[in-house]
Chains A and B, each alone.
Chain A
Amino acid sequence: MILFKIKNLFHLVYTIALKNIKVKYKNSVLGFMWSMLHPLAYLVIFIFVFSNVFVGIDRYPLFALIGLVFWTYFANSMTQIINSIISNASIIKTIALPNILFPMSAAFAEFVTMLLSLIPFFVLMLFFGLKITWITLLIFPAIILFGLFTFGLATFLATFNVFFRDVGILWNTLAPALFYFTPIAFLSTMIPDKYMVYVKLNPLYHYMELVRDILYYNQLPGTTTLFITTGLALAMFVLGILVFNRYKKGFVSNL
């Protein structure tokens, strides 16, 4: 394999990511706006459906919006990265490029989309009662941790999706379940104690705690949360890359 320099690699990631974004929104009138309208639509549903149920939650629209923005990022990234190898089959089979480019490009495209959508969402959050202090800035390292975790997990699954397409189908099937299993619409304190142990097995629970601590409660994240989210992000990132490199040899004969 040719050794690509970091700059070259980034140039390729950028080119493919830009292509993905262009293709995704080429024939839609609202284009990029959709990445914001999607969580907004859910927010409206949440406010209508749950505001009366969860009356105890202070500033409920803000609470739900924070959860929705990061869930949307997670769900979109998973779908795009898991399919990134299969959807670029024709390139992978004809041009010698490092295969990790494709998950990286998908991740980059979704990451940038999320960052851009944060701008209008921040305005909306302010409207819903977001307090801005220096703690708010911690959202950026938190996003990076969440991004690393998402990339690692999705790259791990993308590898197996090449050999067993069941993986991608399974993700599409389980995603809605995971959505309700994660405290997005409701407070984690509303979960009965006896189920808490299972909820904590869900990595997303900890990342939701992390971003809510920073944006919603405007407080420093708890040590346990910090420890778990950082550990998970690094472990998942390394695992994803290792598994990908271990099995990439088999890609061409399975595409």
Chain B
Amino acid sequence: MPDLPTQTTSAPGKAGDRPPTAGIIAPNLAAVAEALSEPAERSPLSATIDRIAPTRDERLFLVLSIFIGVISGLLVVAFRIAIEWIRLLTLGSAPHPGQLRLLFVPGIAGLVVASLVIWFFPAARGSGVNQTKAALYVYDGYISFRTVIGKFLTSAIALGSGHSLGPEDPSLQIGAGVASIIARNLRLSRRRLRMFAPIGAAAGLAAAFNAPISAILFVIEEVIGSWSAAVLGSLVLAAISSVVVVRGFMGTEPIFRIPSITVRDPRELLAYAVLGLFGGLLAPVFSATLGFLRPRLRALPRWTLFAQPAIAGLMVGAIGYFGFPQVMGVGYDVIDQALHGQFVWQLLIALTFLKLLATTVSFSSGTPGGMFAPTLFIGAMLGGAVGAFEQHFFPHLTGTVGAYSLVGMGVLFAGFLRVPLTSVFMVLEISGNYSIIIPVILANTIAFLISRSLQPVGIFETFTHQDGLDLPSMEAMREESVLHIEDAVQPIGVPIVRDSDTIQSVSEIMARDHATASLVHLSDGSWYALSSEELASATATLTPEAPVQRALKSDRTPSLFPDLPLDSALHSFPRWPVLPVLNRASRGTLEGVLTLNDVLRCYRGGD
């Protein structure tokens, strides 16, 4: 096993199992995503490998992605079975209200989980998404073996014993951990190592959801933050491999049995829009509740950390004992029932708010587990309630309650987790029904916009801040406005000459205009920015009648267009005093020119 990566940030493991103490500030995410093509500091071993086998990393990267996918898939299957076994052993095969074990089992399990987390697996606490992001941006892709074991064990106990959390987030982290372990053992470069965590995360999430596209999109939307050809291939390979494994065990059916859904009348979109509205209002309530309770519980004395999951378990158990065992555990079967319209709207509303409460206390108490399944659960119940309510008062609506539940899942996913693209594809992927796309897009967009306006900070970012990390906000990144060349381009203020003009005439023009540079238009249509120094040097060695073409060096100014990012011009300035900005439709036509000062002024906002 290779040594831990040595760098400025604290290494986990030894390091990663304790709360991180260092973070990064506004990293250049595109640069991280493109790290594979960027030269970086290399260890002597890496340098040697680079020399004797320069394409090794790249090829291993793809091969290992398949291994990561397969192993992640296997572990996620084992994880899900472990949860089910524990559920059977602790809560019995048919939990019903009034069974005393419903009251006590989650509490006792909370105590066990808290002990395991505090004494043995401190990194198992918290959001797997954020820990994977931390691995990517802070710890060079390092996730310890102990964290993987801890996450598997503690999450399985917590979820199996009825805590109101989901298995997807732990699956994501298990996948990321597997990837990290494998990559470290193959002595890949640090750049590659860093990118393995999100690849494993995609594999883990794809296996958990049995939905590869959604998993890939989620990792891109929430972990990596940008599309990168360098990792996309590996993400796809890993996600597909893991899903193939899961389907080999669990079958090709989607995670939920989806009833047939059609939208017959476009006016029904109004009903779905109302669902989007409710989802957009509920999502910030959920976020705010978590954002309020979690830091306060964490701020309590250390000894209470043992008791918090137990008390949370007791509360969840009480909800189950006194009539609503549906809120206990993962709740896929309950979502399935809601999708098939098996609940009346009053029960759906009750389950919406009770699940929200149970999940808030479970997660805030530090019990390992994720937010995906509870989000889907609450969304499905909310959707079903709104759908049933609307159908009660507007019986002409033809959409089934199941259709509203399905759209509701996407609505809360978009509003609460703030991943609008993933939310749409997730619904499509788990339903296998394209006809639902318009209601989904409409409702998800409404929910996303309302939620974002009411609660500007997304839930993952909130958790990041509460954990003392400063990880990049993908949502903020998507909102970032990128400056383009057109924002800095200036009217042509330098002389324009032809390459056939004599050196003398060009010198006279430049002297007349007091110009420090001129743009030479070459006969082949290209341009050359000639500085006064270059001209002076040419004057000394060439005759005045010689064409200026003879004074030019072999390179040419780059072709810049107004729509290109402004930073694409930056690297040209040490070489060129001024850059011509061309028209894409007519390359011979100049739109303007750009100097280093123009670019800097634009970045400073002085334009």
A and B: interacting chains:
no
